[in-house]
């Protein structure tokens, strides 16, 4: 008997063209594909994921006339995002229209867009397609953005300039202080608040999906559920549910060979994600602190991440000798494999949300050195809510670097943090297992699409 082919309904994904956003969006695509949907990824011209063998089941489209790498370099991250939303609205409508024309009116079950790609919302509405917002950061950072979108910019600017106020807890966001709020180093406060206001203005989207889990952020998730008019689905961490290799840079796997030769839990792994920049002075303090700590280290230094240097040329010759004895430097690492490695004892991180989830997911305690945006929120939670991180604030000196590396990898305090991290890892694993809170949330979201369109 001929088997009847069941046509998969399509989900259109619209990621922000940046590593920390593309990665969770592709993981979400994998997870939804496993639930029986067909996936089309609509990308900008900049930072496109290749339709490699890992995504052979996905379809890819490019938004014509969207901005390019040179626009990103000329404008900077924040103005780039604001402009991207202006230029993409009409061309994304064209894209959707073409998809509907080719595939049929009943083909698209939902447009799932990164909260910062809010141009997707009016386009979906024009074709009466359901849409859902995907937040790739924490629920707490989402709450903060919502709060910031309503502040009076002038008086908030005055508060933020006052050192005493900066250290105070922000009303209603305990334990976050004013200085932990996700304001940005990528542009002026007015622009970041404009971006947040647009992002949290969920007018016609029918759901919010968050790459987090209730065991990490139950009160922020409950607050969002109360304040938003639509269902909130915490479905993370997606890297455990549906790992999807989507590195935009080439991973140097030779560091795994090097890790294989190190003692268990001895190595401090250092990486500041895909966007953070580090001043030469801070880099040198880190180098000497690492040197004095006597611990082995694996350090990711992205080319161009130290302004004024191509790569590592500002490191002193003596330090380069030490690297040969006790360290390893790469341009980009296979981070999840590194964090999973038994030799890794701690993670020095900028605390991007993906790095935070990946570290907790492997039970690895952290040294938190946030740079901008949501990283400060995550760092504060790592230190004072989950208590698995050492938060470094203010100017960095080699003594602090040395002592914090030892606190994490040698001292009793580090062992306690690791126990708590492993406890959280187990809770996260339980939440994505069948019947767990995140797994059920994902199931509910998928079912809601099936019901709406049946
Ligand atoms: C950005 C923001 O800076 C971050 O605060 C926000 O939460 C998401 O968007 P990014 O700075 O790149 O992201 O940090 P992060 O969220 O940690 O994402 C980095 C990703 O790159 C991780 O998935 C990590 O595994 C990967 N990575 C990083 C590598 O694969 N190799 C590396 O060497 C470094």
Provide the token pair at 250. 């080439």
65-124: pLDDT as tens digits: 889 899 998 998 899 999 999 999 999 999 999 999 987 767 899 999 999 999 999 999
Ligand 1 within 6 A of CB of 353: yes
Residue 327: CB within 6 Å of ligand 1? no
Choose one of 115, 210, 273 to mutate for the ligand 1 pocket test, by most ligand atoms within 8 angstroms of C-beta: 273
Candidates 240, 258, 263, 264; CA nearest to 333 is 258
pLDDT in tens, 433-454: 999 999 999 999 999 998 755 4
Ligand 1 atom closest to Cα of 247? Answer: 30
Q: Is the pLDDT of residue 58 over 90?
A: yes
Q: What is the pLDDT of residue 230?
A: 96
Query: Which residue minimizes the CA distance to atom 5 of ligand 1?
Result: 352
Helix (H) or strand (E) holding 270: strand 267-271
- Most confident range (mean pLDDT) of 48-52, 190-194, 368-372, 447-451 is 368-372
Residue 239 CA, closest ligand 1 atom number: 23
**274 CA: nearest ligand 1 atom:** 12
- At 125, phi and psi to the nearest 5? -65, -40
Both tokens of 137, joined, read 């950061």
DSSP alpha helices (H): ranges in 167-266? 189-200, 214-227, 238-241, 254-260
Q: How confident is the model at residue 373 (pLDDT cuts 50, 70, 90)?
A: very high
For a mutational test of ligand 1's pocket, the pick from 16, 18, 19, i.e. the residue with the most ligand atoms closer than 8 A to its C-beta, is 19
- Tens digit of each residue's pLDDT (9 = 90 or more) over 292-306: 999 999 999 999 999
Q: Is the CB of 373 under 6 A from ligand 1?
A: yes
Percentage above 70 pLDDT, the chain: 97
- Going from the Cα of 271 to the center of ligand 1, the distance in angstroms, rounded, reads 9
Ligand 1 atom with the smallest distance to the CA of 353 is: 7
Residue 11 near residue 109, CB atoms below 8 Å: yes
Counting from 1 in the atom list of ligand 1, the atom nearest the Cα of 339 is 25
0.95 surpassed by complex ipTM: yes
**Whole-number Å distance between alpha carbons of 270 and 54:** 27
Question: Ligand 1 pocket check: which of 137, 274, 349, 361 to mutate, most ligand atoms within 8 Å of Cβ?
Answer: 274
Separation in Å, CA 433 to CA 128, 339, 439: 34, 21, 6
According to DSSP, the β-strands at 108-114 and 59-62 are unpaired
If you measure from the C-alpha of residue 350 to the centroid of ligand 1, how many angstroms do you get, rounded to a whole number? Answer: 9
223 near 176, Cβ under 8 Å?
no
Interhelix angle 353-361/412-432, nearest 10 degrees = 100
CA gap 387, 309 in Å, rounded:
35
Distance 335 CA to ligand 1 centre (A): 9
SS3 of 156, please?
A: helix
Rounded to 10 degrees, what is the CA torsion of 403, 407, 411, 415?
-170
113 and 25 Cβ atoms separated by less than 8 Å:
no
Mean of pLDDT over the chain:
93
Q: What is the pLDDT of residues 8-51, one digit of tens each?
A: 899 999 999 999 999 999 999 999 999 999 999 999 999 888 77
What backbone phi and psi angles, to 5 degrees, belong to 262? -100, 155
Does the C-beta of 182 come closer than 6 Å to ligand 1? no
| 398-438 confidence digits (pLDDT tens) | 999 999 999 999 999 999 999 999 999 999 999 999 999 99
Q: Which of 212, 352, 359 for mutating ligand 1's site (highest number of atoms within 8 Å of CB)?
A: 352
Q: How far is the CA of 211 from the centre of ligand 1 (A)?
A: 14
* CA-closest residue to ligand 1 atom 1: 20
Which of left, alpha, beta for 119 (phi over 0: left; psi -120 to 50: alpha)?
Answer: alpha
């Amino acid at each position: 008997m001929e088997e009847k082919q069941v046509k998969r309904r399509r989900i259109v994904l619209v990621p922000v063209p940046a590593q920390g956003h593309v990665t969770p969006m592709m993981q979400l695509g994998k997870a939804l594909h496993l639930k029986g949907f067909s996936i089309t990824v609509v990308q900008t011209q900049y930072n496109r994921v290749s339709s490699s063998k890992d995504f052979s089941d996905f379809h890819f489209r490019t938004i014509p006339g969207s901005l390019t790498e040179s626009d990103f370099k000329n404008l900077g991250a924040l103005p780039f995002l604001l402009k991207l939303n202006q230029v993409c609205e009409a061309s994304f409508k064209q894209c959707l229209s073409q998809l509907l024309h080719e595939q049929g009116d009943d083909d698209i079950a939902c447009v799932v867009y990164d909260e910062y790609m809010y141009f997707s919302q009016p386009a979906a509405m024009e074709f009466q397609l359901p849409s859902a917002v995907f937040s790739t950061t924490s629920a707490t950072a989402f709450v903060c953005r919502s709060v910031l979108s309503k502040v009076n910019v002038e008086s908030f600017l005055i508060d933020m300039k006052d050192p005493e106020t900066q250290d105070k807890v922000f009303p209603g966001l305990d334990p976050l202080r004013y200085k932990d709020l996700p304001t940005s180093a990528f542009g002026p406060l007015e622009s970041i608040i404009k971006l947040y206001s647009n992002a949290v203005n969920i007018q016609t989207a029918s759901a919010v999906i968050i790459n987090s889990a209730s065991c990490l952020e139950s009160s922020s998730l409950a607050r969002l559920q109360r304040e938003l008019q639509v269902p909130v689905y915490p479905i993370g961490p997606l890297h455990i549910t549906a790992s999807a290799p989507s590195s935009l840079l080439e991973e140097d796997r030779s560091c795994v060979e090097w890790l294989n030769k190190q003692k268990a839990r001895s190595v401090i792994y250092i990486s500041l994600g895909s966007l953070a920049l580090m001043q030469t002075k801070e880099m040198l303090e880190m180098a000497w602190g690492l040197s004095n700590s006597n611990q082995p280290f694996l350090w990711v230094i992205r080319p161009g991440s130290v302004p004024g240097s191509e790569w590592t040329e500002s490191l002193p010759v003596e330090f380069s000798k030490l690297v040969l004895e006790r360290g390893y430097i790469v341009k980009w690492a296979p981070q999840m494999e590194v964090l999973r490695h038994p030799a890794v004892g701690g993670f020095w991180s900028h605390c991007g949300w993906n790095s935070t989830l990946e570290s907790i997911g492997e039970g690895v305690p952290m040294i938190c050195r946030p740079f901008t945006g949501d990283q400060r929120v995550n760092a504060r939670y790592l230190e004072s809510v989950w208590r698995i991180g050492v938060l470094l604030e203010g100017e960095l000196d080699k003594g602090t670097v040395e002592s914090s590396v030892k606190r994490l990898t040698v001292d009793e305090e580090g062992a306690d943090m690791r126990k708590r991290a492993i406890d959280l890892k187990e809770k996260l694993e339980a939440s994505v297992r069948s019947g767990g809170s995140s797994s059920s949330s994902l199931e509910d979201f998928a079912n809601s699409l099936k019901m709406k369109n049946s």
